Structure formats: structure tokens, C-alpha cells
Amino acid sequence: MSAPHVPTPPDVQLSDDARHPVRRALLSVYDKAGLVELATALHGAGVELVSTGSTAQRIADAGVPVSRVEDLTGFPECLEGRVKTLHPRVHAGILADTRKQDHLDQLAQLDIAPFELVVVNLYPFAATVASGAGPDDVVEQIDIGGPSMVRAAAKNHPSVAVVVDPARYDEAVAAVRAGGFTFAERKRLAAQAFAHTARYDVAVASWFASSYVPDDAGFPAFTGATWERADVLRYGENPHQRAALYTDERGGLATATQLQGKAMSYNNYVDADAARRAAFDHAGPAVAVVKHNNPCGVATGADIASAYAKAHATDPVSAYGGVVAANRVVTQGMALALKPVFTEVVVAPGYEPAALEVLAAKKNLRVLVLPDGVQAGVRPDEVELRPISGGLLVQTVDRIDATVTGEDGTPSGGDDPRDWTLVAGEPADDATAADLAFAWRAIRAAKSNAILLADDGAAVGVGMGQVNRVDSCRLAVERANTLADGAERARGAVAASDAFFPFADGLQILLDAGVRAVVAPGGSIRDAEVVEAASAAGVTMYFTGTRHFAH
């Protein structure tokens, strides 16, 4: 066995401000945006340009002198571009550590000139997958030579600057004109370059795991994601906790645009995401008001202003300092209704200019616009990720929108009232059925154990986050009956329970308060007692066959 290679230390130590003049650059880009401007500026600064196939063609067409990689290697680009830059004359020029006299001597012997700048961006693998292309087309878009050059240049950052993002061309030109990139700049560019190839490889590996290694698990054997720091937050859930926001490529609340107000806090993000989920769970105009990750108001309305008014009325006491999400553009009417209420955050797909004028008076109020795509709400095939110590839990989102059937072909329940089973009382009339359907959707935004009372498309009392269902029932009734100037809102409301009633005791509290109809999953060994209690009270009760725990 040969002895392990022991690298020699560099002959020169670089300080962070040491510049490295750029005499020769290698350009090989899929995205040609800004290429001609870059090449023109580099040439103007006296840099010799070497380039691949269509990149070189584009530069030459603009009248800028450029030599081709083929001339450098003496080897033609071949196999439909699969081999262009994979050659020692290219890679020795990128990888020579010019701090070492020995490397310089070897380059001289081999008659290879070093590159001081490598500009590469990669074949569009992720976009090709997203386009729905077939496997052969997807695989062809796996860039091999590009990542090799990027990684080589990033490794050799003491001698080479690597640029992978067209948005950085102006900086690159400025650095070249200033006498070369500083060592600190080259380190930063190398870090960006390795993040670029890491993101790329995670996308490739995830696609292979899900497309090429099928099994019956329904989840791929490997999955990866990469995140970029978007912000450092003032603190975490509490002031002694440090926190930051990272974003991925899915787009969502984390990439919302903030139009005004104080900086978003960790808790603001948590609550705004919960509010977004709750509001976008309804087809019509809907608003959710969230406190501490739970809805203290949720309602639908003829328009977004009336939805807001109803959501605020659910629990006006708790709405103080709440986070509000709307699933429609915020109108001036909604803004005027919200103005007198101390609110931490409003998040929505958009705002009428007149609404923004109203909200502008509330200087501290954080106003967020969701990015495109989030408006469509949650797709049933989406997954949610929850880190636990040493791992990650993954589940599909809690949505069962279509009429569903079980394995034996019988309806197995769901979010669709057509799948529910009437177990007590008369079938619900249309208004009651609509309220039950609303309550059943609204309850999955509340932490278990949850009971939600609703009337006219609005929650009127929510008992959530209790460790037994009886307390949730008490809380829902108490809130319904004490928070609206003494109006007994539980009487005549409908009730939803996120999981089965294990005993009749919790349900009895709702029946005694006068609810007119109940929807619950069913499935307790004491269902008969529960149904009997509803029947005895003459109350309509449906079992859905599915539950909506939220932990």
C-alpha cells in the first residue's frame, strides 16, 4: 500500500486583504444572462478569456476575443456536450495552488497557464424536473463538468475566484478592476460555490431516490433540503434564545414580503404561519386570528371585511395582540375594521392601496404579502416536516378534500360532509350542514384536544390545547357565552370535536349549553353512550370517520 499523501504547506501565507490579479478567466455558463457584458468588461480589463461551446460562441458573436476550451485541450467537445472541460489542461489550470513554487514549476513544465477566475453556472436540473420532463431528459440535465470546475475552483480559492451567480458579475468586474479579488472575497465566493453544488446534488440525489428506487413506503429512502439564512432575528421564543430565519425553495410565509412595521420576531413567524394555514383552509373569503399558535378567531364571510369582523368577534379579548391572516386581498373595509385593534401582524395575498393607506397609520403593525402560489392554499399531497432530536418527522398535510372510500369500497369519511354518517337526530338542514362543514375545517387549526363552536360561518367559542376533552368543552362554552356582551352564543351553535368523545361527559356539556348539531370522528368504544346522549337531547350528530388531531 502506498503511503498516505501528506500535503506540503504553502510557501506564502495570505492575509484577508491580499488581492490576486486576474489574468485569465474560464467562462462556461448555461444561463447566458449578463455574459456579454461580463466578457466585454473582463476583456477591457486585460483578462484573457477561455470558454466552452455556446458560451464562447456568444462572446465571439459580440466581437470579444475568446479562445475555446477545445483549442486549450486539443480535444474536441464530444458526446453531445457530456465531455467538454473534463481534461487535465483545464483542471490543472484551476487546481494549481499558486502559493506553492512546486505547483508553478509543474505548470511551467506542462505548459499550462493558471486560471485566476472561473465563471460557471450549471444545467437547469431542478427546472427540468419541475417541467415534468421524462427520465432521459432529466438525467441529461445533470451537469458533470460544471460542478467539477466549481468545486475545483472553490477548493483552490487561495489562487482562484469562482463566480456561480450572474447577479455577482458586477462585483466580479469591480474586483478585477481593483487588482483582483481579495482573499476574503475568494473565501466568500468559495463558500457560495460549495453551497451551489451542494444544493444541486441534494436535488439530484432526492430525485434519484424518489424516481429510481421505488418501494411501497410512500416516502423516499433519502430526501434532502438546503436552507439559506434569510435573517437573524432579535431573539427566539424567549429573549435569552438566539434565532434566525432560513428559507428553502418551496416559497411560502418565510419568503413573504414585509411592507411595513417592526421586524418580524420568531413568535410572529410561528403564529403567522398558523394563521395562514387556518385562513387558507376555506374556499370563500376567510380570516383567522391566531395567538400562541392557536386560532382565537376564524370565520368566513361574504367578503373579507365581514370575515374579519366575524373572526374578531369570536374572541375579542384574545384577539388583542393577535396575528391575522386573510385568504383574500385586504380591502379598505377590512383595514378600517382592523385599525382600532392592537394587532401584531397581518398576512394576506395582497392589499388594496386604500387598505395600505389605512394600515400605514399603525406604524408598528407588520404587514406581509404572501408570495405567488401560497394563495392557492395547501395541496393534499404536500408534506410537513417537524424536526425532533436526532431526526425529522415527515407527514402529509391534514387534508382529505375529496370523497374517499376505504379499501373495501365503503365511504371511510373525510372532510367532505357527503362522507359523514348521521348517527343521531334529524339530517342537518342546509344552513346547519354548512356550519358543520365550516366547523370541521376550522377545528384542525386548533391544538388538541379541541372543541369548536360555530354559527353562521364563524367560530363563536374555541376550547383548545387541553389535556382532556371535558375541559375543552367547558372552555368552548364559556368563551362562547362570556365574550359577546353576555349573549349565549353556545345556544343554537354547532360543535366540532377534533377527535372522538371517549365518554358522553364532554358532549353533555355541549348539549346542556344548547348546541344544535355536532360533528365528531366517532370510533370510541363508548360511541353508543355518546350517540345516546345526543339522541336523548334531540341533537343532530354526524360521525366523520376521520379525526383532526394537531399536536
Rounded Cα distance between 121 and 102, Å, is 31
| Greatest Cα-to-Cα distance within the chain, rounded to the nearest angstrom | 98
Cβ proximity to ligand FAI: between 120 and 161 the closer is 120
Q: Is 310 a catalytic residue?
A: no
Residue 142 DSSP label: -
Q: Under the criterion CB under 6 A, does residue 400 sit at the interface with ligand FAI?
A: no
Is 324 a residue that touches ligand FAI (CB under 6 A)?
Answer: no
By CB under 6 A, tell whether 199 contacts ligand FAI.
no
Annotated active-site residue in 32, 155, 187, 262: 155
Q: Give yes or no for residue 53 binding ligand FAI (CB under 6 A).
A: yes
Residue 145 binds ligand FAI (CB under 6 A): yes
**In whole angstroms, how close is the CB of 32 to ligand FAI at the nearest point?**
8
In 100-167, which ranges are continuous DSSP H helix? Answer: 101-110, 125-130, 135-140, 145-155
- Nearer of residues 121 and 472 to ligand FAI, judged by Cβ: 121
Grid coordinates standing for 27?
467562462
Quote the strand ranges of 204-252, DSSP E: 228-233, 243-247
Residue 312 appears among annotated catalytic residues? no
- Region near ligand FAI per CB under 6 A, out of 116-124, 213-221, 398-406, 528-536: 116-124
Nearer residue to ligand FAI within complex by CB, 68 or 276: 68
Shortest reach from residue 360's CB to ligand FAI, in Å: 46
CB of 171 to ligand FAI, least distance (A): 21
Instruction: State the nearest-atom distance from the C-beta of 30 to ligand FAI, in Å.
Output: 3
For the CB of residue 86, give the shortest distance to ligand FAI in the complex, in Å: 4
81 belongs to the binding site for ligand FAI (CB under 6 A): yes
Q: Which is nearer to ligand FAI, 86 or 329 (CB)?
A: 86
Among 66, 92, 123, 367, binds ligand FAI (CB under 6 A): 123
Q: By the 8 A CB rule, do 19 and 182 touch?
A: yes
131 or 405: CB nearest ligand FAI: 131
Per CB under 6 A, the segment of 121-129, 198-206, 208-216, 463-471 that binds ligand FAI is 121-129
146 binds ligand FAI (CB under 6 A): yes
| Residue 75 φ/ψ, nearest 5 degrees | -135, 130
86 binds ligand FAI (CB under 6 A): yes
* Pattern 7-36, ligand FAI, x by CB under 6 A: ---------------------xxx------
Strands of the 67-68 sheet, one edge to the other: 67-68, 48-51, 24-29, 117-121, 161-163
Of 32, 87, 187, 292, which is the active-site residue? 292
**Pairing label, strands 322-326, 294-300:** unpaired
Dihedral over Cα of 103, 107, 108, 110: its sign = positive
Q: What's the rounded Cα separation, in Å, for the pair 139 and 128? A: 9
By the rule CB under 6 A, 182 interacts with ligand FAI: no
- By CB under 6 A, residue 83 contacts ligand FAI: yes
CA distances from 421 to 201, 352, 380, 547 (A): 49, 43, 23, 14
Cα(434)–Cα(443) distance, integer angstroms: 14
Separation of alpha carbons 452 and 463, rounded Å: 6
Give the binding-site size for ligand FAI (rule: CB under 6 A): 21
**Nearest to ligand FAI of 85, 544 (CB atom):** 85
CA-atom Rg of the chain in angstroms: 31
Choosing from 47, 94, 95, 120, the residue that interacts with ligand FAI (CB under 6 A) is 120
Among positions 20, 84, 91, 362, the unique one binding ligand FAI when judged by CB under 6 A? 84
What amino acid occupies position 342?
A: F
Give the position of cell 362562547: 480
Chosen residue from 14, 26, 42, 52 binding ligand FAI by CB under 6 A? 52
Does 124 participate in binding ligand FAI (rule CB under 6 A)?
A: no
411-416, long-range: CB < 8 A, 24+ apart: 411/545, 412/545, 412/546, 413/521, 413/543, 413/544, 413/545, 413/546, 414/544, 414/545, 414/546, 415/440, 415/441, 415/544, 415/546
Positions in the binding site for ligand FAI (CB under 6 A)? 28-30, 52-55, 81-86, 120-123, 143-146
- Give the catalytic positions in this structure: 155, 292
